[in-house]
Amino acid sequence: MGRRARLVLSGVPLHIIQRGNNRNACFIAEVDYRVYLSMLREASTAVDCSIHAYVLMTNHVHLLVSAEDISSPSILMKALGQRFAQYINRRYRRTGTLWEGRFRSCLVEGEPYLLTCQRYIELNPVRAGMVTRPDEYHWSSYRANAEGCIDPLVTPHELYSRLGAEPCERQAVYRQLFDDEISAETIASLRHATNGNYAMATVPFLEHARCLLGRGVSPPSFCRRT
């Protein structure tokens, strides 16, 4: 049986997860994180993909990206995955596969899910017990989005830009979003959508995407209601 074609729509954000093979570590030393981010910036610029949020965990990566060309995310992940795997194999004198096959992804409707997905991504180190606050983790977009730290990799999404008229106002509003926990149901839905190549969206968006793509974009049990 062939693989389901990936759901991608022009301009619609895509939540991406790429895991290490057998959940083994992809990043061993601090320099590895820095090299990956440098490669990600180069590759995303080359294919005109905007990175709205990211986190690099020990054995997997989360990205929130958007692009006008629907082929760009796949080109980005293929080029980045190959180049970083070659780097790791050379540096640590290893052979074999670094990544666990295909990356996983889901479409993310802007409202009401985009900023929730950003929070989900940037809170990964907290949920994993690696830090107690997201600003304590160095390898995520949190400090760029919440504190205004310079990060040339991050391109704010339009919905983020609407949080306030000035950068300091947007950052303050964004930080306040982290005062509320993401519900267990929402986390489960986002994980299910990403692992299953579906959409995290309201029913009207799901119906619109189904018409555009000519196929279902969500399992019936996970249809999101307005």
Which residue, 140, 34, 26, is CA-closest to 85? 26
Q: One-letter amino acid identity for 85?
A: A
61 within domain boundaries: yes
Q: Identify the sign of the CA torsion 29, 134, 157, 10.
A: positive
pLDDT of residue 182: 96
Helix H or strand E segment including 62: strand 60-66
CA-to-CA distance for 119 and 73, rounded, in angstroms?
21
Average pLDDT over residues 44-69: 98
4 within domain boundaries: no
| Predicted confidence (pLDDT) at residue 147 exceeds the cutoff of 50 | yes
| Predicted confidence (pLDDT) at residue 112 exceeds the cutoff of 80 | yes
73 within domain boundaries: yes
Contact 73, 8 (CB under 8 A): yes
Our measurement of the distance from residue 177's CA atom to the centroid of its chain's CA atoms, rounded to an integer in Å, reads 18
Q: Tell me which residue range forms the domain holding 193.
A: 14-209
2 within domain boundaries: no
CATH code, domain with 82: 3.30.70.1290
138 within domain boundaries: yes
pLDDT of residue 77: 97
| Predicted confidence (pLDDT) at residue 1 exceeds the cutoff of 60 | no
pLDDT of residue 225: 41
pLDDT of residue 171: 98
Q: One-letter amino acid identity for 185?
A: E
Neighbours of 46 (CB within 10 A): 13
Number of domains in the chain: 1
Average pLDDT over residues 193-210: 93
Our measurement of the distance from residue 84's CA atom to the centroid of its chain's CA atoms, rounded to an integer in Å, reads 17
163 within domain boundaries: yes
173 within domain boundaries: yes
The pTM (predicted TM-score) of the whole model is 0.94
| Predicted confidence (pLDDT) at residue 91 exceeds the cutoff of 50 | yes
Beta-bridge partners for 51: 65, 154
Give me the chain's average pLDDT, please.
Answer: 93
CA-to-CA distance for 71 and 9, rounded, in angstroms?
9
97 within domain boundaries: yes
Instruction: Convert the pLDDT of each residue in 3-16 to its tens digit.
Output: 678 899 999 999 99
Average pLDDT over residues 93-116: 94
| Predicted confidence (pLDDT) at residue 122 exceeds the cutoff of 90 | yes
Average pLDDT over residues 14-19: 98
Average pLDDT over residues 179-201: 94
Secondary structure letter of residue 140 according to DSSP: B
